């Protein structure tokens, strides 16, 4: 991408930036001095966050006084503002993980720790053609759009029109308008999936196994199916259904736990509180057409498909 120098004078300082001539969607709102329309995240002395949108002439009110938005407009990120009650607040733009946790919700969102895993383990790359369902509140859609970029494609399917509307608002607020790579369809994925030659499909829904036939048709050979499910019963049914379907390789399943730490002098220890459970992830890759899935090297654990097993494949003589 070509580059050009841009000079901005703001907050009494001159800023020179090496700015690409045409910036990726949303990038201009992620750097430089605060502008009208930017999201601002304030942190108070107790570490609590407050998020608002900058508007000329408005004031931000707290129970310890107020300050005018104009104090921040043109100021660099990392500025400290004081309310009329002399309480100091640190002002920064919210990062995407902050944004998705504070935005309006319809359905439960994919947490940043899982979104990071999905981007890495489903190998989402710039220019990728990705299908996603459901959209819920649009948390994962926003992460995916940032990763595929303006030259990629994200087609998101959501069965509930009210959730699709909330998600659209959240995504467009984050990028400062519509994203050129995004299409949003209201309807069930398994009945509406029209895309072909898709590189990646990400499912975050109650019953991913209902979508396997449609997903298998849409994916390119080598393409990745990634599913995010909340319970062990959903995980088991999804994995067994993928095996049974016969057009994917052996699925991999895992979960992530993030434990934050308190680091202060000699008191260096894990924090007392953590998010103990969000969901399980799995990935499987689309085989070439007509290929038999390779035999599993390891035999199933004794009793894994015993007489008590009633999941997919239980009627097909596996035991």
List contacts with ligand SAM (CB under 6 A). 107-110, 133-140, 157-160, 163, 188-190, 204-206, 211
Residue 140 vs 225, nearer CB to ligand SAM: 140
Residue 163 vs 174, nearer CB to ligand SAM: 163
Rounded distance between C-alpha atoms, residue 188 and residue 211, angstroms = 9
Please list the residues that pair with 248 across neighbouring strands. 286
CA dihedral 45, 51, 55, 58 (to 10 degrees): -50
Rounded distance between C-alpha atoms, residue 119 and residue 226, angstroms = 10
Residue 90 phi, psi (nearest 5): -85, 130
Please state the closest distance from residue 290 (CB atom) to ligand SAM, in A: 28
Please state the closest distance from residue 151 (CB atom) to ligand SAM, in A: 23
Residue 76 vs 116, nearer CB to ligand SAM: 116
HSE-up of residue 48 (Cα within 13 Å, Cβ side): 6
Cis peptide bond prior to 267, omega within 30° of 0? no
Please state the closest distance from residue 46 (CB atom) to ligand SAM, in A: 28
316 is in an annotated binding site: no
158 is in an annotated binding site: yes
Residue 109 vs 145, nearer CB to ligand SAM: 109
Nearest to residue 116, comparing CAs of 98, 92, 143?
143
Residue 140 vs 181, nearer CB to ligand SAM: 140
156 is in an annotated binding site: no
204 is in an annotated binding site: yes
Please state the closest distance from residue 198 (CB atom) to ligand SAM, in A: 15
Please state the closest distance from residue 255 (CB atom) to ligand SAM, in A: 16
Contact 73, 54 (CB under 8 A): yes
**Cα torsion angle, 149, 155, 160, 165, sign:** positive
Chain residue whose CB lies nearest ligand SAM: 134
136 is in an annotated binding site: no
Please report, in range form, the residues annotated as the binding site for S-adenosyl-L-methionine: 137-140, 158, 188, 204
Please report, in range form, the residues annotated as the binding site: 137-140, 158, 188, 204
């Amino acid at each position: 991408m070509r580059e050009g120098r841009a000079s901005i004078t703001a907050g009494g300082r001159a800023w020179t930036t090496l700015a690409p001539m045409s910036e990726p969607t949303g990038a201009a709102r992620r750097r430089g001095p605060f502008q009208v329309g930017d999201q601002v995240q304030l942190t108070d002395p107790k570490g609590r966050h407050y998020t608002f949108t900058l508007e000329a002439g408005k004031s931000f009110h707290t129970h310890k006084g107020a300050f005018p938005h104009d104090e921040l407009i043109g100021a660099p990120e990392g500025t400290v503002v004081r309310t009329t009650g002399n309480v100091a607040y640190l002002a920064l733009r919210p990062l995407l993980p902050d944004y998705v946790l504070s935005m309006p919700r319809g359905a439960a969102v994919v947490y940043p720790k899982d979104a990071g895993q999905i981007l890495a383990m489903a190998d989402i790359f710039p220019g990728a053609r990705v299908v996603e369902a459901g959209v819920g509140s649009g948390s994962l859609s926003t992460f995916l759009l940032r990763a595929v970029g303006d030259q990629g494609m994200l087609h998101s399917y959501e069965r509930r029109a009210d959730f699709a509307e909330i998600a659209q608002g959240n995504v467009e607020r984050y990028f400062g308008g519509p994203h050129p790579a995004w299409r949003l369809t209201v309807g069930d994925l398994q009945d509406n999936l029209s895309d072909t030659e898709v590189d990646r499909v990400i499912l975050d829904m109650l019953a991913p196994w209902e979508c396997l036939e449609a997903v298998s048709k849409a994916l390119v050979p080598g393409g990745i199916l990634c599913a995010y499910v909340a319970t062990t019963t959903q995980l088991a049914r999804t994995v067994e259904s993928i095996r049974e379907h016969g057009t994917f390789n052996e699925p991999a399943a895992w979960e992530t736990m993030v434990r934050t730490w308190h680091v202060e002098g000699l008191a260096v220890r894990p924090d007392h509180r953590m998010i103990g459970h969000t969901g399980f992830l799995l990935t499987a890759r689309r085989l070439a057409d007509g290929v038999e899935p390779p035999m599993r090297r390891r035999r199933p654990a004794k009793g894994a498909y015993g007489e008590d097993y009633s999941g997919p494949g239980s009627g097909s003589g596996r035991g």
